[in-house]
């Protein structure tokens, strides 16, 4: 970091909350911004919470958070405005004063971002009209139906469209926060934060918000869902279309069509994602070398594992392991 950057005034990071906001939507990203100061070596951020009325605001977990800012007057100096999600978002959307403040305040901020279902509150302002956005997968259909002018993308963990950012379910807000911090402070600070918080790494926004295990859980009960669980336990096998179809007594053609309809992705894409996810967990533990992981999980070679990692995670296995290994982290 240059001396000029060190002299820069702290960026004001403000999150809008309301009754029954999701605790992790707030605490996750804000904890990362606050902790970034320790790794930057200077006060890069000052974090605070805003609400319709300042004071203690009860989250859906029952814990209360202190909002020190009033979501009323438009103020200058807010660098990044975040909008929390949670089961209270529907009531918040009916608070016209809150929606009006968000609409007026956003133009005065360098960045505006929503976490999880906070995208619905941001959408209510009209500021996302004509833009790409994502939210928690359970809310994507509603976002698309209620706000047809928004280009809703259901898969990414976060999206940037101009100065507006949106993220998928809950923990994706931490991935978004890491991306914002990386924009400001660089990769070294983000790598240190990931180690400190025992996060895998900064996941790119293009990564899916569905892990293979979650895909399997969200598939309707039946033969396809059962096969997905079988795949997760048999990644060492070739897992060709023919083998998978035979497992549930279907023709390969009918199986491929049925799997894609029910799982939302092709069999090959599911297998590839499952292998990468399992390899990521294995490499994070540090117990196996890359060649052994590749052989055990059906990649065939370390080179194929490397290509799969770069395609899905935008890093090599070695880079991933280096990022994840602790360096004095708690």
For the entire predicted model, the pTM comes to 0.68
Task: Give the pair of three-digit tokens for residue 197.
Answer: 């918080």
Pairwise CA distance, residues 280 & 220, whole Å: 27
The yes-or-no verdict on residue 329 having pLDDT over 70 is no
- Interstrand relation of 132-133 and 69-70 (parallel, antiparallel or unpaired): unpaired
CA atoms within 13 A on the CB side of 294: 17
The yes-or-no verdict on residue 164 having pLDDT over 60 is yes
Q: Above pLDDT 70, what percent of the chain? A: 88
Q: Above pLDDT 90, what percent of the chain? A: 63
Average pLDDT of the residues of the chain: 88
Q: How confident is the model at residue 198 (pLDDT cuts 50, 70, 90)?
A: confident
The yes-or-no verdict on residue 209 having pLDDT over 70 is no
Q: How confident is the model at residue 220 (pLDDT cuts 50, 70, 90)?
A: low
Q: What is the pLDDT of residue 212?
A: 60
- What distance lies between CA 24 and its chain's CA centroid? 12
Q: What is the pLDDT of residue 255?
A: 94
The yes-or-no verdict on residue 163 having pLDDT over 50 is yes
Q: Which CATH number fits domain 212-324: 2.60.40.10, 1.10.10.60, 1.10.287.130, 3.30.70.260?
A: 1.10.10.60
Tell me which DSSP letter residue 101 carries: H
Cβ(209)–Cβ(155) below 8 Å: yes
**Residue extents of the structural domains in the chain:** 3-196, 212-324
Residue 34's CB: how many other CB atoms inside 10 A? Answer: 14
Average pLDDT over residues 222-250: 92
Average pLDDT over residues 124-143: 94
Q: What is the pLDDT of residue 11?
A: 97
- For domain 3-196, give the fold: Rossmann fold (3.40.50)
Average pLDDT over residues 54-61: 97
The yes-or-no verdict on residue 293 having pLDDT over 80 is yes
The yes-or-no verdict on residue 1 having pLDDT over 50 is no
Catalytic residues: 116
**pLDDT, tens only, 101-125:** 999 999 999 999 999 999 999 999 9
Same fold, 3-196 and 212-324: no
Q: What is the pLDDT of residue 259?
A: 92
Tell me which DSSP letter residue 123 carries: H
Residue from 141, 178, 136 nearest 157 by CA = 136
116-125, 162-171, 219-228, 255-264: which range is least confident on average? Answer: 219-228
């Amino acid at each position: 970091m240059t001396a000029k950057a060190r002299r820069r005034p702290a960026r004001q990071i403000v999150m809008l909350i309301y009754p029954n906001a999701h605790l992790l939507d707030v605490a996750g990203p804000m904890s990362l911004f606050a902790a970034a100061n320790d790794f930057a070596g200077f006060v890069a951020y000052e974090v605070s919470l805003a609400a319709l009325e300042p004071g203690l605001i009860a989250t859906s977990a029952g814990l209360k958070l202190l909002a020190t800012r009033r979501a009323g007057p438009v103020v200058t100096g807010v660098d990044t405005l975040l909008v929390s999600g949670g089961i209270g978002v529907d009531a918040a959307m009916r608070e016209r004063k809150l929606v009006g403040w968000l609409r007026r305040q956003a133009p005065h901020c360098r960045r505006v971002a929503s976490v999880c279902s906070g995208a619905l509150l941001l959408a209510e302002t009209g500021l996302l009209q004509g833009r790409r956005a994502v939210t928690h997968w359970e809310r994507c259909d509603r976002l698309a139906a209620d706000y047809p002018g928004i280009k809703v993308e259901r898969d990414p963990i976060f999206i940037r469209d101009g100065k507006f950012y949106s993220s998928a379910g809950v923990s994706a807000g931490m991935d978004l926060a890491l991306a914002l911090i990386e924009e400001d402070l660089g990769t070294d600070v983000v790598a240190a934060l990931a180690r400190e918080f025992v996060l895998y790494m900064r996941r790119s926004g293009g990564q899916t918000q569905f892990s293979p295990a979650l895909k399997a859980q969200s598939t309707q009960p039946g033969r396809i869902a059962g096969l997905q669980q079988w795949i997760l336990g048999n990644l060492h096998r070739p897992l060709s279309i023919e083998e998978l179809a035979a497992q549930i007594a279907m023709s390969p053609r009918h199986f491929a069509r049925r799997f894609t309809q029910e799982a939302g992705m092709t069999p090959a894409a599911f297998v590839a994602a499952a292998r990468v996810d399992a390899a990521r967990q294995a490499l994070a533990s540090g117990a196996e070398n890359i060649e052994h992981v590749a052989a055990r999980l059906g990649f065939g070679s370390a080179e194929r594992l490397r290509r799969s990692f770069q395609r899905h995670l935008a890093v090599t296995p070695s880079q991933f392991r280096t990022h994840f290994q602790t360096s004095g982290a708690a």
